[in-house]
Amino acid sequence: MNGIAQTLRRASSSVEDFRGDYDRLTAMMRASWEQNDAPPFLYTPEFLADWFRYPGSSFSLAPTIYRGSEPIAFAVGYPRRVMIGGAERRILISTFLTVAPERKSSGCGVVVWGELMRRAAEAGFDGVVNYC
């Protein structure tokens, strides 16, 4: 158990903002998702870059763990405004949680997702909807 805790602490300390390296992110996502039973979605660098053009989107809402120049874990939240019970609320749509194939079951996914939740709270969002 102690080894897992140390791994999570190390991973947590290495989380940074997404660098905008869409080609590398796309390659990691494809490699990871190819291991699923269902056919993987075909996301392109252009498609992923387009998501960051939405107003309020930010690389700071995309915690990423890198090994050198390669992303090995990624999650992102996209801001939205919704009306709930007559009141406008700021929420974050959490999506694209992905871990490189060789790092699956390492805890890195939990780390980037947890970091996204922390950043959402610090930014004053009223809630997060997870979409994976």
Give the tens place of pLDDT for each residue, 26-41.
Answer: 999 999 988 878 877 8
Block means of pLDDT (10 residues each) for the chain, length 132 residues? 54 85 96 83 92 94 96 97 95 95 91 96 95 70
Model pTM score: 0.87
Closest CA to 49 of 72, 77, 21, 74: 21
Task: Tokens for 99, please give them.
Answer: 């871990």
Question: What DSSP state is assigned to residue 105?
Answer: T
